[in-house]
Amino acid sequence: MGYEIAKLFSEKGNRVVICGRDAENLNKAANDLGINYIVCDLTDSASVKNLVAKLEYFYKDLSILVNNAGLSFTYKLGERANAVDKARAEFETNYFAPVRLAESLMPLLKKQEQAAIVNITANVAFHPMIVLPTYSDSKAALHSHSVALRLTLSSGTRIKVFEVLPSQIPTNAIKEVSSNQNCLSPMVVARNIYNGLQEDRYELYIGDAGKQHADYLSDPKAAIAKLNQAPF
């Protein structure tokens, strides 16, 4: 999904820089797309400081931050599930990393005429999947943070906060819980993000997530039961 977001925004005339831990994959993606990259472990504060310093020096006009990094473990809660360790790793990537990066880049974003923070959560942010229990927890936390951050920055800054809530996307993270034919195309997500930014739609429910959210608001118990009906 990150690749498709970078590709579309670059095609639309934006100067795009991507970051991640895997230098080899970043180099390949950057070469394919004709963009730049910075190696960074978003779960490491020193690495993030280095990233921010480079962005402040080379990308003084940075106006959009897309928090797309994600980690998930497929398992069920219970004895010997090792849920604490799994949750700690998921929260480091899915929650603490975007919170840290948004806060670190806020001084730079505040200098721009227009700026945006885009947090990628998921449909599980509003109702959990039992096979992605602590991943669901981490996305629910990021959803709550996104709402609070949006309300806070709406007063006194020009930074807009968007949240993207897609239904399942064909990635390694969810390959064990859904077949690819039921998944959402990453390009569809990228187009929805681009259009949503233009239209100031701050919560973007993409794919089945919109219907799932409406069902949840109507009957939470039934909606959660429906989401977890698939044979796991």
Residues facing 163 on adjacent strands: 119, 203
75 is catalytic: no
Check if the beta carbon of residue 69 is closer than 8 Å to that of residue 20. Answer: yes
| CA distance from start to end of the chain | 24
Check if the beta carbon of residue 72 is closer than 8 Å to that of residue 86. Answer: no
Determine which one of 37, 135, 205, 216 is catalytic. Answer: 135
232 contact partners, CB below 8 Å, separation of at least 6: 76, 130, 131, 177
CB-neighbour burial class of residue 170 (10 A; exposed 0-12, middle 13-18, buried 19+): middle
Integer Cα distance of 202 and 155 in angstroms: 16
HEC profile of 170-225: CCCCCCCCCCHHHCCCHHHHHHHHHHHHHHCCCEEEECCHHHHHHHHHHCHHHHHH
Q: Which residues are catalytic?
A: 135
